[in-house]
Amino acid sequence: MEQQPDELISADQEPIYEDDGAINAAFLTEILAAIDARNADFIAAEIAHLHESELGDLLEALDPEQRQGLVELSGKSFDLTSLTEVDEAIRLEIVDAMPNEQIAEAFRDLDSDDAVFILEDMEASDQKEILSKIPIQERVGLQRALDYPEDTAGRRMQTEFIAVPPFWSVGQTIDHMREADDLPDRFSEIFAIEPTFKLAGTVELDKLLRSKRDTRIEAILSENLHPIPAILDQEEAAMVFERYDLLSAPVIDENERLVGVLTIDDVVDVIHEEAEEDIKLLAGVGDEELSDSVLETAKSRFIWLFANLITAIAASLIIGLFDATIEQMVALAVLMPIVASMGGNAGTQTMTVAVRALSTRDIDTYNAKRIIRREVFVGGINGVVFALLVGVIATIWFSNIQLGIVIAIAMTINMIFAALAGILIPLGLHRLEIDPAIASSVFVTTVTDVVGFFAFLGLASFWLLS
């Protein structure tokens, strides 16, 4: 007898994920069957126990029509926080289909940082309408965060926090936290503020709970303040967390007034986003998402492919200078790609290390020269090793020891130049305040191709055919 959707086995009886991290096939089948049967009760019951990240993964596993069906059937039980776990294209697709009244209602249960994350990509008219339907106290906090530039600490901060006067006692503070209804769901520290809302200090929660009730807050304030300016770039803010091993940090405005708090969960997202962005930029794929359409993906990659075409033409022009040389010795055409390819790979290795080190601030004015010297020596050592290997292969292959010597010398030269280009180009772009992840690969590829072809063909023309 065929199983009906209302009789489906509850998903909490089986794991959500397969061993490879994919959504459990049986669970997904049940969800799809319930969507097809328009079984709202089953859908609401099944997603109610899912963590926001699990619901996000489920949304990404569905087709657009199935996603809309899931959200529609979920009704008010749909956790809007899950939209912070999906691609931007999927997030916009879902919120565009949802009534603004439903979004505004759901925002009342969301942390402010999650609400801002969802709001910031929406149309200005939708933002305005949604904000108008939110209570004034919550609306002010959301609007304040939205007013800060994108990718700043102010955009990432949570506007819910606990702030008390320094003259309060520990007992007063604890009683306040027990009685207040508008406190954040999770927190690890409280803040002491002056009457002007200027930050006076912080108190870790464990220190507060271990202090006697009559102790004044000002007596147990932390001396190691690491306030983060609201306009600070989010990547710089993440560096502060990494440097001082923070769980949370106060966010202050230009007048040093407390306006929010940045928490470790948001910083982990920032670190993940920035690392992903650097990897994508190095590969020339921009900010595309897996959910983007074919046309959008093709457009985002076009400019970098076009840039690579220009560099390829430049390398071809170098080859064209030695067309007569190649005609006299066909073996040169066979061996040319080896020199260019090895140089390109060596340059990419150095460039990747350099770009990541610049991103994490591991390279500075004090160690830059040492790192440049190290990369040159590494390039030289690898150049000599592979030069000997390729030289022997070329000599045996074409029975020409002079050809083997030429390609060995060219290989060594190109590997050294590749190392130099891989480290100096990112450093130079960084000095010019240009993101080295964006343009480094194009310049490094150009240098290794041009130097490789010019060294190999130039040496061959001078040594073998003169």
Q: How far apart are CA 279 and CA 251, in angstroms?
A: 29
Tokens of 404: 């083997």
Please choose, from the candidates 116, 75, 73, 118, the residue with its C-alpha nearest in 3D space to the C-alpha of residue 96: 118
Average per-residue pLDDT for the chain: 88
pLDDT category of residue 81 using cuts at 50, 70 and 90: very high
Give pLDDT tens digits for 148-163: 999 999 999 999 999 9
Residue 3 has pLDDT above 70, yes or no: no
Give pLDDT tens digits for 392-422: 999 999 999 999 999 999 999 999 999 999 9
pLDDT value of position 464: 73
Residue 380, C-beta contacts closer than 8 angstroms, at least 6 positions apart? 412, 415, 416, 419
Tokens of 430: 């960084």
Average pLDDT on 197-218 reads 93
| 339 in Cβ contact with 411 (< 8 Å) | yes
240: helix, strand or coil: helix
Residue 237 has pLDDT above 90, yes or no: yes
Residue 89 has pLDDT above 70, yes or no: yes
Place of tokens 């073996």: 331
Average pLDDT on 253-275 reads 90
Give pLDDT tens digits for 246-255: 989 999 999 9
% residues pLDDT > 90 (the chain): 55
DSSP letter at 10 equals P
Lowest mean pLDDT among 208-222, 273-287, 380-394: 273-287
Phi and psi torsions of 166, nearest 5°: -65, -25
Q: How far apart are CA 230 and CA 245, in angstroms?
A: 19
Ordered domains of the chain (ranges, CATH): 5-151 (1.25.60.10), 163-263 (3.10.580.10), 294-464 (1.10.357.20)
Q: How far apart are CA 449 and CA 455, in angstroms?
A: 10
Instruction: Name the pairing type of β-strands 248-252 and 258-263.
Output: antiparallel
Of 129 and 109, more confident: 129
pLDDT value of position 310: 86
Please choose, from the candidates 256, 87, 237, the residue with its C-alpha nearest in 3D space to the C-alpha of residue 151: 237
| 347 in Cβ contact with 445 (< 8 Å) | yes
For every residue of 145-168, DSSP letters joined together read: HHHSPTTBHHHH-BS---EE-TTS
Model pTM? 0.72
- First-residue to last-residue Cα distance in the chain: 87
pLDDT value of position 131: 92
| Length of the chain measured in residues | 466
Q: How many CB atoms lie within 10 A of CB 399?
A: 10
Lowest mean pLDDT among 193-197, 296-300, 401-405: 296-300
Tokens of 151: 């990718």
Q: How far apart are CA 352 and CA 350, in angstroms?
A: 6
| 152 in Cβ contact with 233 (< 8 Å) | yes
Average pLDDT on 102-112 reads 88
Residue 190 has pLDDT above 90, yes or no: yes
pLDDT category of residue 8 using cuts at 50, 70 and 90: very low
Residue 79 has pLDDT above 50, yes or no: yes
292: helix, strand or coil: coil
Lowest mean pLDDT among 34-38, 79-83, 100-104, 325-329: 325-329
Residue 75 has pLDDT above 60, yes or no: yes
Q: What amino acid occupies position 44?
A: A
Helix or strand (DSSP H, E) at 416: helix 401-431
Lowest mean pLDDT among 95-99, 343-347, 442-446: 442-446
